[in-house]
Chain A
Amino acid sequence: MKVRYFAWVRERVGKTEEDIDPPAGVATIGDLVAWLTGQGEGYAYAFENPNIVRSAIDKHHVRPDARIAGANEIAFFPPMTGG
């Protein structure tokens, strides 16, 4: 599945997007964050406070307990500051 990062999450991870293939036990957004956190320093920094980072599945806001099975595109980003 494709993962996209925005704003300071993007800066900390060091990429705008990537294709990932998490292991079978990674079922929810929360699981994915925990798994990504172990993938390197940038990820650990981006997700150091996982309660702050927001997530979306296929362009819909979701909560950490959302299941990722069947997702085409997952996004992580800070709280929004548009408008």
Chain B
Amino acid sequence: MSVFVRLQREAFDAANEIAALTRSRTDIGAVVTFTGICRADENGEPIAALNLEHYPEMAEAEIGRHIEAARQRWPLLGVTVIHRYGRIAPGEGIVLVVTASSRREAAFAAAEFLMDYLKTRAPFWKQVEKPGGKTGDKIWVDAKASDDTATERWEPASTKREAAN
């Protein structure tokens, strides 16, 4: 399986990443991509940008572990995960997940699985920059309980909340 994980400040291009993952291969029958995009509002309030802080070494390790978990669960042929950090303006991509398989079911499911884990387990933190640009106007985004619920549906009942280890 081809695996690409990149944490980067720069923008990404989903079409390029699909091409890189599928180039010269004829066994891939399905590619699913998810792109998370910075909105111009957070909780109904306008924002100027998001600033993402991360824990680089752990983010890479954690994403790798979830890709491995996905690979054990579904017959995947390729996975690309790109997560940006730093300042991201509305309209720009924040995160990209590309999953490839011979058939669509695995590609869809693995993409959703990876995104649910990325949101709740990958060490990234979003800070909202309010319009106007004063330093004091930066606010950390609160974690959403709905994201935890989305992640828990992948875990057997007996291991809920233990899966982090």
B164 contacts chain A at the CB level, 8 A cutoff: yes
Q: How far apart sit A4 and B120, CA to CA, in the bound complex (Å)? A: 19
Q: How near does chain A come to B124, taking the closest CB pair, in angstroms? A: 3
B95 contacts chain A at the CB level, 8 A cutoff: yes
Q: Which residues of chain A in 27-83 are interfacial with respect to chain B, using CB atoms and an 8 Å cutoff?
A: 56, 59-63, 66, 75, 77-83
Asked if residues B125 and A80 are in contact (CB atoms below 8 Å), the reply is yes
Q: How far apart sit A10 and B62, CA to CA, in the bound complex (Å)? A: 21
Interface of B is mostly: mixed
Asked if residues A83 and B36 are in contact (CB atoms below 8 Å), the reply is yes
Q: How far apart sit A66 and B164, CA to CA, in the bound complex (Å)? A: 12
Asked if residues B140 and A83 are in contact (CB atoms below 8 Å), the reply is no
Q: Which residues of chain B in 30-66 are interfacial with respect to chain A, using CB atoms and an 8 Å cutoff?
A: 36, 52-55, 57-59, 61-62
Known: A59-B57, A83-B115. A78 touches B125 (CB 8 A): yes
B143 contacts chain A at the CB level, 8 A cutoff: yes
Known: A60-B164, A75-B58. A6 touches B141 (CB 8 A): no
Q: What sequence of 0s and 1s flags, for each residue 1-37 of chain A, a beta carbon within 8 Å of any chain B beta carbon?
A: 0001011101000000000000000000000000000
Q: What sequence of 0s and 1s flags, for each residue 101-131 of chain B, a beta carbon within 8 Å of any chain A beta carbon?
A: 0000000000000010011111111110000
Q: How near does chain A come to B162, taking the closest CB pair, in angstroms? A: 8
CB pairs A–B below 8 angstroms (27 shown): A4-B55, A6-B55, A7-B125, A56-B58, A60-B61, A60-B165, A61-B62, A61-B121, A62-B165, A66-B165, A75-B58, A75-B123, A78-B125, A79-B120, A79-B142, A80-B124, A81-B119, A81-B126, A81-B140, A81-B141, A82-B52, A82-B59, A82-B83, A82-B122, A83-B36, A83-B115, A83-B119
Chain A: residues with CB nearer than 8 A to chain B?
4, 6-8, 10, 56, 59-63, 66, 75, 77-83
Chain B: residues with CB nearer than 8 A to chain A?
36, 52-55, 57-59, 61-62, 83, 94-95, 115, 118-127, 140-143, 147, 164-165
